[in-house]
Structure 1
């Protein structure tokens, strides 16, 4: 009888242990935020918008606009609130023609990454544009790394997944940029939209993705390689088409450094808290 009780006790411990393992948070940290989500609010009042985000528990920012302020102005506002800017987004022309100014601004902000999210092109993305892009990214990335200690990241936007040889032009850019100077920020919506599995893409290039944009696509929307869709098609995480848990598992395994919510929808004020609650609810 005593032996049976001991066995039952150990079985209960095992069940409890398995249950505890299953309830481990998949995404325990608080995500960061892309300033573009709150672009209209930031344009009116940077300080008040930062207060709103801080009240949500968000302290990690990716600024993609200085909103007519100086980098030092924004850094002061961040410091006063115990917030950081880990990534600074700029346009392709500034990256290539004002590289040193970009580096100085990023350094002032305290950013460890500089990001570009759009490659200028007309019509479908071509090999010629990809070749120019590789050259420009390698050159700018080298300056940012060698002179400022900053890592350059390219944020995909969907059009780069045009077929090329046995892969895509995104593969071409990935394989021909120097990993010492060029890394990537995966936007999971703009990976899924042209028909690519974000989790599989991260697993394919586990050393290259440093940053990640968290966003979801409204159910029923069919994608393409245009790089554009209506902003209303951005929905709260977990309510759209993307397999968020699978993506987060792949990103965690790959060692992605920063995760930022980007919600382009006019309903962002309602959807951002929903997204944060969903992330907090995920377990594995």
Structure 2
């Protein structure tokens, strides 16, 4: 599956000249052409794409293994988990879950988790199987700048625990961190008050756009702080105050070609699909469409 997808991506990126029969090229010209076009293909596409399992939470609740098998068939090669009541390993122990995903060619790279309870145990289990991140999915709106600074201290502490277990800690935003508090933007407070050696960030592009922020500006201003992102589109007709307006990628108002290019240039490593509203599609149907969109996207 992975080799086939790489081949298809490469084909969309090659120039017409690259399709000249090789017998008309010298040996040096052949090597030069391939090297140039391989670089262009890597720079202009996403080699690896993930999905946040919350996007298919109902299916995961009924049949975790069957659902993940379908996601692998759609072309995803990374997973980001969450605790749906069966733990972040979905009723399996950590090593069994890793063996299952490995067999499908999937990297269980990260998971949203309650980082304020039992973090030592969760981090140990995650680090043991080579996961890269544990992520705080929600911390709640804070009442003051000082409260956000206190939250940053907690994030640094969580980051220390994760580092001691061989993985990283990150925070996933919602719209509230882009709402001004006492003349300051909380997202900026958290970025400035956390230690880059301990804390990374996962930018939910949808929530940033919904709150009126420009993802490109954040990627450029805070290079290498945003290592993961949620790729989630927003309905074109949704009024600014509407928060529940996610839609299949490519059908909404967000310019992912520009945003993902800037993200990649600024240190982004994990591009993770998420969708929460479906309008006539099943979550799995939407997941398949989203994988197709990202696997074809050239930027």
What range is the shorter-chain TM-score in? 0.7 to 0.9
- Counterpart for residue 235 of structure 1: 247
Q: Which runs of 5+ in 2 are unaligned?
A: 1-15, 21-32
Q: Is 2:75–2:292's contact at 8 Å kept on the other side of the alignment?
A: no
Q: Is 1:127–1:169's contact at 8 Å kept on the other side of the alignment?
A: yes
Q: Does residue 1:78 correspond to 2:93, yes or no?
A: no
Q: Does residue 1:113 correspond to 2:130, yes or no?
A: no
- Counterpart for residue 193 of structure 2: 176
- Counterpart for residue 260 of structure 1: 272
Q: Is 2:145–2:184's contact at 8 Å kept on the other side of the alignment?
A: no
How far apart are the structure 1 equivalents of 2:239 and 2:276? 18
Q: Does residue 1:32 correspond to 2:47, yes or no?
A: no
Q: Is 1:74–1:109's contact at 8 Å kept on the other side of the alignment?
A: no
How far apart are the structure 2 equivalents of 1:97 and 1:48? 29
How far apart are the structure 1 equivalents of 2:148 and 2:139? 9
Match of 1:218 among 226, 230, 235: 235
Q: Does residue 1:43 correspond to 2:58, yes or no?
A: no
Match of 2:293 among 255, 278, 281: 278
Deviates more, 1:30-39 or 1:63-72: 63-72
How far apart are the structure 2 equivalents of 1:102 and 1:251? 29
Q: Is 1:87–1:113's contact at 8 Å kept on the other side of the alignment?
A: yes
Q: TM-score, normalised by structure 2?
A: 0.78
How far apart are the structure 2 equivalents of 1:110 and 1:43? 25
How far apart are the structure 1 equivalents of 2:139 and 2:92? 25
How far apart are the structure 2 equivalents of 1:84 and 1:278? 20
How far apart are the structure 1 equivalents of 2:290 and 2:73? 15
Q: Is 1:30–1:57's contact at 8 Å kept on the other side of the alignment?
A: no
- Secondary structure of residue in 2 paired with 1:97: coil
Q: TM-score, normalised by structure 1?
A: 0.82
Cα distance change on mapping 1:223 and 1:118 into 2, 3 Å: farther
How far apart are the structure 1 equivalents of 2:246 and 2:94? 29
How far apart are the structure 1 equivalents of 2:133 and 2:243? 27
- Counterpart for residue 221 of structure 2: 204
How far apart are the structure 1 equivalents of 2:136 and 2:63? 24
Q: Is 2:171–2:200's contact at 8 Å kept on the other side of the alignment?
A: yes
- Counterpart for residue 27 of structure 2: none
Match of 2:144 among 111, 122, 126: 126
- Tell me the number of residue pairs that the alignment of Structure 1 and Structure 2 aligns: 257
Cα distance change on mapping 1:279 and 1:97 into 2, 3 Å: closer
Match of 2:81 among 42, 55, 63: 63
Match of 1:96 among 102, 109, 116: 116
- Deviation per CA, 1:207-260: give whole Å up to 9, x if none: 201111111011121335xxx833xx2111111111111111111101211111
Q: Is 1:125–1:160's contact at 8 Å kept on the other side of the alignment?
A: no
- Secondary structure of residue in 2 paired with 1:96: coil
Q: Is 1:75–1:108's contact at 8 Å kept on the other side of the alignment?
A: no
Q: Is 2:174–2:208's contact at 8 Å kept on the other side of the alignment?
A: yes
Q: Which runs of 5+ in 1 are unaligned?
A: 1-11
**Over the residues paired in the alignment, what is the CA RMSD in angstroms?**
2.6
- Deviation per CA, 1:135-177: give whole Å up to 9, x if none: 10011111211x1121101011110112256641110111010
